[in-house]
Structure 1
Amino acid sequence: MKSFKSLLFLISVTTVFFACKKNNGDPFVEPEQIVPENPATFREVSTITLGTTGAAEISTYDPKTKKLFVVNNAVGSKVDVIDLSAFPTITKSQTLDFSTTSGVANSVAVSNGLLAVALEASIKTDNGAVAILNTSTLTETRRVTVGALPDMVTFSPDGNYIVTANEGEPNSNYTVDPVGSISVIDIKNNYSVRTLDFTSFESSLANLKAAGFRMYGLNATFAKDIEPEYVTIAADSKKAWVTLQENNAVAEVDLIAGTILRVVPLGVKDISLSANAFDISDQDNKMELGTWPVKAFYLPDAISMFSLNNVSYLALANEGDTRDYGAAFNEEVRVSALTLDPTRFPTAATLKLSANAGRLTVTRFNGDTDGDGDFDELYTTGGRSVSIINASNGQLVAEIGKDLEQRVIAAGKYDDGRSDNKGVEVEAVTVNKVNGQMIAFIGMERADMIAVYDVSNPMSPVFLQLFATGDAPEGLLYIKPKDSPNGRSILVVSSEGDGSVKLYQPDKI
């Protein structure tokens, strides 16, 4: 009898192992049940408006209580609680107010009945905090100090760590510039926290710059110039990747050891190549992608990690961003205002016309390669795309950019007034499995749209769908069928421009 039970146990373990091996070859990842849905058919099923500008930025969902938590900074520092238990009917049940104890709330995340809220300090250059609440009682159980301006918070998939990207932006007149950092909170170790900065990478600056890294702030050290933006974590909860938006790089973090392993520069995008064509003028009376003697720093905001066939990939939302602190420090300049090197730009006068490149926003801190006062290269800010890179070596695998903007133009949703600055402005990305397919949802802040691509073959993304959102979509949240209130996939889109939260579902197959 004992040997028979042992045989049954062995068969059971072997079955689970091979089922998990089929799930991207990771024996530690529980295979997801496939729900037959068409990922090309997402449509709006519910909506709620929480206020005006700034009223709906980032959201998170608790499957245990069927509550959606949405950052709302329209008035004060708040998180609205939305009840999805009667979905598709959704109602606001209450508001969590942090206004008396902190600056604004920047991000929220949920795991195992815990809600984490990233709170910047009342003086944003001071250290911020993560407030931790019980999702059932909504009482705050703990508050943990992290670095300055925690801009994004997330849990590791196993629920053992809370990780924040602490942007560490300067104050408005650039007289105080805190270090950028990443905080790792160990929940099982009594919420102990390690806040990691980038001081040790100072000696690597020359090599990093040669690969496209940017360090250019006022009186900057390496640690101060770093501005972490967004976090994604591997399925085994051992590593995190963090975008360093203004620096044009991604950092890899060992969560177990509590160390930053490396900084990966993202290089530049050559707009003189047809595959990378941009529309760079808002005054040419047309919406047309073209090639130009310009390079673009990618400058990613959101990041999403996914794995296929034992290879890990990172999807980067290349929004672009600049440092604009008025008279104190401003990197933005129009091409028309620059002196261009006559050898590098023999048709400079024509190039600088408003209908050509004259209106394009570029950075004044890159491009004078020989230090003689004129510009030998032009660098615009933002890749206007989603890049897919290999997480192990940082190599570019594919880019969803030209195709993305062409489809928005064809749909009549392109804002030509933004052609000179960020285009559709790719703000958000999240990659998740729908019906067994690896699907990328891409949020475009200026187009007010979501694009859906199948990235099951990461080297060859396939367009599926384009649909409208609220004004200026900021946060994307995918709810798996197993966690959903109706057993179906839900995409939650929070739009900061009009304070709306919209929920979309695909058709059943």
Structure 2
Amino acid sequence: MRTSHRLALAGGAAALSAAVMAPMAIAAPPAVSTNQKSIELALAGSYETGVYGESAAEIPAFDAKNSRLFVVNAQKGAIDVLKVDTKASLSFETTLTVAGVSAADGSVIESGATVNSVAVSNGILSVAVEADEKTDLGWLVFYNSKTLAPLGAVRVGALPDSVAVAGNGSYAVVANEGEPADDFSVDPEGTISVVTLPKNVNQFSRLSQDSVRTVNFRAYDEGTALPEGVRVFGPDVQTPADQPDAGRIARNLEPEYVTIDPTGKTAYVSVQEANAVAVVDLASATLTDLWALQLTDWSTEGALDASDRDGGINLKNWPVMGVPMPDGMDSYRYRGQDLVVTANEGDGREWGDFIDEERIKDVDLCTSAFPDAKELRKDANIGRLKIIADLGLSASGDCYETLHAYGARSFSIFTADGERLFDSAGLIEQSIKDLIDAGELPEHAFNANNDESPTFDSRSDDKGPEPEGVVIGEIQRNTYAFVGLERIGGVMVFDITDPTKGEFVQYVNERNWDAEGDDAEAGQGDLGAEGLTFVPASDSPRKKALVIVAHEVSGSTSVYEITPTRR
């Protein structure tokens, strides 16, 4: 039995460096709230797999028709099926194992396959499955969400990492990351699969491999100019021998996460390491845009703690650019326009002998750009901060003119064509500090790691609280962003009704800060927030809106009910 603590408090390189910096405009557990808070989250139910540190709970998908929650259990290579009752309590029902399902191309899913993502719509459960050899082509598998019977499968690209289904059930879209082999011997191309779905479960006999259309990035190897600021880097290795050849750019761009706009016409796909978003028209299955995300300027836009050896919480401005590199995203409509919300996690690569990060103290800073280089390189300043190795180098390549850190420790709101409306910059770290200062959190919560307690300040030299995922929900005509934090854990809530001015509302976290240790026996509660889903009150068995969070380190899933606090 976990211990729950509930608190409350009112309240290249040159191209990327040149990305547009001006903001645009358009026509229980620990809880922190502003004086103007309009909703309140409270824990309603939870389920624990009992499996610690093995990714036993990653991505949740809720089926309103059958009051079922489907949770990716990568440790099993399966999907845990949980029942959600009228109190929003969770109980285990069964496990769906994908191994042995036959696909339309004649292949059969092998026993070593890994489930990466799930989505449910119109009585159909869609499951993204990675092959046992991750550089091989993967699958999208379908189940009847009521009977749980398999409906078939189709082949998609290598390492399908995320799946989303249009609200009308017409398309499933898969981000095929195409990561390199661990030894960097081969690198599959990154692609996006657009799968046309049958109208209902009774028509799945018509599903064929022809239902799959593939969107790729080959045009950028064939003369189309790569948009400014889209990062392509690292060794140039070939595709696997049994897959079509593709150029370096097509292999280097790795789609990570999919969101589909509410009209079901357009998909937005994060291409994380490239710091980009791909835009796909679903009717034609074509790439219509690729844009780089605006950087966060830590010298002016917000303060961060950049060192794990500075003896405390020190939020300061530093001459560093934060490269958002989002993982999870969501989209919503605002005054007839699509807006895209990104969780700016950041992500480095380490394949074979290739590593794309350095600590600032281990590199040479150009004295013309950094006259105070000696002071900056101290451990207590930004010397230990990890930066992207291939960005910001001088023309001669012998020193750094600008410094680019992984992630922006924030969430951002963009228009459909990539104009940034809002970035939370240092607001997440500042809110955690405020909670600590108020005595509502222990000091060792600040920039803590997600697999051990206490670990005060241990993530400050890396990516801080590490926003991992975000979901959008509307409650009483207000729009909210629910941001999952991978390292410290928990969910931060922001009112984004005005998309140019996100306002902090509340922070909830079921982590037990009194626990000590690095395993399940320590009773640490929820650790490693990974995937989130929002359930509107109209779909909720509780008759209240819900936010559901899966935690990959603790292998637990928690349900928060949302109560409006003003009417």
**Partner residue in 2 for 1:400:** 424
For normalisation by structure 2, the TM-score amounts to 0.80
Decide which of 228, 244, 251 is 2:278's aligned counterpart.
251
Supply the distance in 1 between the matched residues of 2:559 and 2:275 (Cα, whole angstroms): 32
Change (3 A) 1:205 1:365: farther
**Partner residue in 1 for 2:362:** 337
Q: Is the 2:348–2:357 Cα contact (8 Å) retained in structure 1? A: yes
**Partner residue in 1 for 2:172:** 162
**Partner residue in 2 for 1:302:** 328
| TM alignment of 1:23-422, pairs within 5 A | 39-50=38-49, 51-53=51-53, 54-74=55-75, 76-99=76-99, 101-102=109-110, 103-188=113-198, 190=207, 192-202=211-221, 208=227, 211-219=228-236, 221-273=248-300, 275-325=301-351, 327-391=352-416, 393-412=417-436, 413-415=445-447, 416-422=457-463
**Partner residue in 2 for 1:499:** 555
**Partner residue in 1 for 2:493:** 452
Q: Is the 1:212–1:268 Cα contact (8 Å) retained in structure 2? A: no
CA-CA distance at 1:253 after TM superposition:
0.2
Q: Is the 2:87–2:542 Cα contact (8 Å) retained in structure 1? A: yes
Q: Which consecutive residues of structure 2, in runs of 5 or more, have no partner in the other structure?
A: 1-36, 101-108, 199-205, 238-247, 437-444, 448-456, 511-525
What letter is aligned with 1:193?
V
CA-CA distance at 1:205 after TM superposition:
7.3
Supply the distance in 2 between the matched residues of 1:204 and 1:308 (Cα, whole angstroms): 35
**Partner residue in 1 for 2:480:** 439
CA-CA distance at 1:204 after TM superposition:
6.7
Supply the distance in 1 between the matched residues of 2:388 and 2:225 (Cα, whole angstroms): 20
Question: Is 427-436 or 248-257 further displaced after alignment?
Answer: 427-436
Alpha-carbon displacement from aligned partner over 1:243-282 (angstroms, at most 9, x marks no partner): 0000000011000011011111113222111x23221111
What letter is aligned with 2:446?
Y
What letter is aligned with 2:190?
G
Q: Is the 2:116–2:128 Cα contact (8 Å) retained in structure 1? A: yes
Q: Is the 2:410–2:427 Cα contact (8 Å) retained in structure 1? A: no
Q: Is the 1:39–1:435 Cα contact (8 Å) retained in structure 2? A: no
Which secondary structure state, in structure 1, belongs to the residue aligned with residue 251 of structure 2?
Answer: helix
What letter is aligned with 1:448?
G
Which secondary structure state, in structure 2, belongs to the residue aligned with residue 409 of structure 1?
Answer: helix
Supply the distance in 2 between the matched residues of 1:205 and 1:295 (Cα, whole angstroms): 28
Change (3 A) 1:449 1:245: same
Supply the distance in 1 between the matched residues of 2:488 and 2:482 (Cα, whole angstroms): 14
Alpha-carbon displacement from aligned partner over 1:259-307 (angstroms, at most 9, x marks no partner): 011111113222111x232211110012122111211211001111111
Q: Is the 1:168–1:224 Cα contact (8 Å) retained in structure 2? A: yes
Alpha-carbon displacement from aligned partner over 1:78-136 (angstroms, at most 9, x marks no partner): 11000113533321011112356342100001011111110001110011001100111
What letter is aligned with 2:87?
F
Q: Is the 1:40–1:452 Cα contact (8 Å) retained in structure 2? A: no
For normalisation by structure 1, the TM-score amounts to 0.89
Q: Is the 1:39–1:506 Cα contact (8 Å) retained in structure 2? A: no
Which secondary structure state, in structure 2, belongs to the residue aligned with residue 482 of structure 1?
Answer: helix
Asked if 1:483 is matched to 2:539, the reply is yes
CA-CA distance at 1:206 after TM superposition:
5.9
Change (3 A) 1:65 1:244: same
Change (3 A) 1:341 1:87: same
Supply the distance in 2 between the matched residues of 1:204 and 1:455 (Cα, whole angstroms): 40
Cα RMSD over matched residues? 1.6
What letter is aligned with 1:472?
G
Normalized per residue, which structure has more strand?
A: 1
Q: Is the 2:44–2:89 Cα contact (8 Å) retained in structure 1? A: no
Change (3 A) 1:279 1:508: closer
Which secondary structure state, in structure 2, belongs to the residue aligned with residue 52 of structure 1?
Answer: coil
Which secondary structure state, in structure 2, belongs to the residue aligned with residue 417 of structure 1?
Answer: coil
Supply the distance in 1 between the matched residues of 2:99 and 2:350 (Cα, whole angstroms): 27
What letter is aligned with 1:249?
A
Which secondary structure state, in structure 1, belongs to the residue aligned with residue 273 of structure 2?
Answer: coil
Q: Is the 1:108–1:118 Cα contact (8 Å) retained in structure 2? A: yes
Q: Is the 1:213–1:267 Cα contact (8 Å) retained in structure 2? A: no
Alpha-carbon displacement from aligned partner over 1:437-463 (angstroms, at most 9, x marks no partner): 101101111121211111110011111
Q: Which consecutive residues of structure 1, in runs of 5 or more, have no partner in the other structure?
A: 1-37
**How many aligned residue pairs are there?**
466
Q: Is the 1:430–1:477 Cα contact (8 Å) retained in structure 2? A: yes
Supply the distance in 2 between the matched residues of 1:159 and 1:124 (Cα, whole angstroms): 28
Q: Is the 2:46–2:556 Cα contact (8 Å) retained in structure 1? A: yes
**Partner residue in 1 for 2:241:** none
Supply the distance in 1 between the matched residues of 2:213 and 2:230 (Cα, whole angstroms): 25
Which secondary structure state, in structure 2, belongs to the residue aligned with residue 447 of structure 1?
Answer: coil
Change (3 A) 1:39 1:113: farther
What letter is aligned with 2:41?
F
Question: Is 170-179 or 87-96 further displaced after alignment?
Answer: 87-96
CA-CA distance at 1:56 after TM superposition:
0.6
Supply the distance in 2 between the matched residues of 1:131 and 1:120 (Cα, whole angstroms): 11
Change (3 A) 1:508 1:304: closer
Change (3 A) 1:157 1:41: same
Change (3 A) 1:308 1:130: same
Supply the distance in 1 between the matched residues of 2:224 and 2:358 (Cα, whole angstroms): 25
Q: Is the 1:230–1:301 Cα contact (8 Å) retained in structure 2? A: yes
Supply the distance in 1 between the matched residues of 2:528 and 2:217 (Cα, whole angstroms): 32
Which secondary structure state, in structure 1, belongs to the residue aligned with residue 268 of structure 2?
Answer: strand
Which secondary structure state, in structure 2, belongs to the residue aligned with residue 80 of structure 1?
Answer: strand
Supply the distance in 1 between the matched residues of 2:337 and 2:97 (Cα, whole angstroms): 42
Asked if 1:472 is matched to 2:528, the reply is yes
Change (3 A) 1:286 1:507: same
Q: Is the 2:84–2:541 Cα contact (8 Å) retained in structure 1? A: yes
What letter is aligned with 1:331?
D
**Partner residue in 2 for 1:33:** none
Q: Is the 2:273–2:325 Cα contact (8 Å) retained in structure 1? A: yes
What letter is aligned with 1:94?
T
